[in-house]
Amino acid sequence: MENKKIKVGIAGARGLSTVMGFNAMENVEITALCDLDESVLNREGDNLNIAKQHRYRIFDDMLESDIDAVVIATPMQCHVPQAIAALEAGKHVMSEVTAGVTMDELWWLCESVEKYGKTYMMAENYMYMPNVQLVKELVKKGMFGECYYAEGAYLHNINCLFTYPNGKTSWRSFWQCGKRGAFYPTHSLGPVMQWFPGDHIAEISTFSPGVYNDLGLKQDSGTTTMCRLESGKLVQLRVDCTSPRPHNMTHYHLQGTQGAFQSAQGFGDRDKISFLSDTNVSWEMTWQALSDYNEYLPERYRNATAEQAGAGHGGGDFFIVSDFIEAIRTGCKPAVDVYDACEWTAVGLLSELSVVNNGRTMTVPKFRKGAKLEDKIVKL
């Protein structure tokens, strides 16, 4: 598909965040749109100049059109059924997070990607933010020494999203906050795991203080999950979507033998970094601005055009789309392939069992091509 124009269909209003990215690319065109809400469908269809006959309320109808790829940005319980339908229809897939809502779904997704041979990429856009990409480059250059501990936190009060404007109950009341555990881990795991290249999550334990809200929902008032990697290194995750507090969806920390990174905590704070090489002894280390190292940003971020940078997240919303299209054209491994997507999603799903069993340690399956039936189980 190297020279062929790639036609893209978008399912769900959330997928509109990719529009500027696709529009900034050569030989790529958004030609179809799907949404259950007809008013949204027609408003956005007009904005994007989508022909009326290519505006769909039924996802399967859009798959019958001549699109090459689909962006799935519907509620999370729809991701796997729609991804499988798209793959079976011969379409490439970029899916919003999380990859699925049950462990069985994750295996179905892996099996379908393997069966139909199309590109699948999870749209974990937080790992494309410039500060996260800069830390990744510094890790690659060995400036942190050996990294052995990291943290990620997604603190986002979504209490206003449990009902729709028309008063009906939102899907979030069930598939997100109608369940226990760290239901939404990938915005933390995506950035952090790329700082541990080649490593995998071996097991997790999740703890919760309980439920301290009057929402009538099962979701914990915050969860803390400790992930032990195959290497023995540790990643700590915190997810809290119900507690009253300002948002902080991009908290990250990285510790290595030669330095540390700490993301901004709000209230005028900045991303900061400290290296042992800048001091004589470790107890004299001080913070400096991460931006002092902007010369190490990936070249495409430093040289981003105004149009690319305007796609959002400092160019990240363009580059995630660019990587998806590149994977389609070349057949290379996408930035977040189906096995990465399922591993990171599984952390949240297994956390449900861990947290209700007093933090019981749960083994994370090794998602990989050709996994055997006996590997596709939850081990207690």
**pLDDT above 90: residue 128:** yes
Q: For 152, how many CA atoms within 13 A lie in the half-sphere containing its CB?
A: 21
pLDDT of res. 3: 75
The answer, yes or no, to whether residue 5 has pLDDT greater than 80, is: yes
Q: What band does 51 get if pLDDT is binned at 50, 70 and 90?
A: very high
pLDDT tens, position by position, 306-344: 888 888 887 888 999 999 999 999 999 999 999 999 999
Instruction: Please give the domain boundaries of the chain with CATH numbers for all domains.
Output: 124-298+338-380 (3.30.360.10)
Question: Which of the four pLDDT bands, split at 50, 70 and 90, describes residue 125?
Answer: very high
Placement of tokens 């036609």 in the chain: 7
User: What confidence score (pLDDT) does residue 314 get?
Assistant: 79
Strand 201-207 relative to strand 28-34: parallel, antiparallel, unpaired?
unpaired
Model pTM? 0.97
Residue range 130-147: average pLDDT?
98
- Please give the pLDDT value at position 2: 66
Strand spans (E) along the chain: 6-11, 28-34, 55-56, 69-72, 92-95, 120-122, 147-155, 201-207, 223-229, 234-240, 248-256, 259-262, 272-275, 288-289, 362-363
